[in-house]
Structure 1
């Protein structure tokens, strides 16, 4: 079931304003836990941040696709 243009716009706003900040907090806590638990280096933290920074968008890509474009269903 495909989302309508309005639904994708609303969901993208919810994701960017609520879910993404929560995801950032989880990512920072995860790297802090890794640093305290396993004494990882700065390069390992960087790799974890890069992987987590890319991982959040992969399942949400269809929601954000075309949101910045004009509504395709709108009447001219």
Structure 2
């Protein structure tokens, strides 16, 4: 099911404002359950988790920064 431009834009804002802070808190909690590794391993875990959240949501963010393709431009009148 394809989402409309407005729906993708609203969903992307929701993910960035609500979902991403929750994901960060969950990642910090999970990492804190283990003994603290070396700084390079910890950095690698955070970088990996930082990339991992965006992969399934790529289609939501794709094209959101572009103008609305369904809106009529003033030049076409």
Give your verdict on TM over 0.5: yes
Residue segments in structure 1 that go unaligned for 5+ positions in a row: none
Greater relative contact order (Cα < 8 A, sep 6+): 2
The aligned residue for residue 2 of structure 2 is 2
- Which aligned pairs between 1:38-53 and structure 2 lie closer than 5 A? 39-53=36-50
The aligned residue for residue 22 of structure 1 is 22
RMSD (Å) for aligned C-alpha atoms: 1.0
Aligned positions, number: 73
Kindly report structure 1 stretches of 4+ aligned residues shifted beyond 6 Å: none
Higher helix share: 1
CA deviation after TM superposition for structure 1 residue 33, in Å: 1.3
Considering only CA atoms, is the larger Rg found in Structure 1 or Structure 2?
Answer: 2
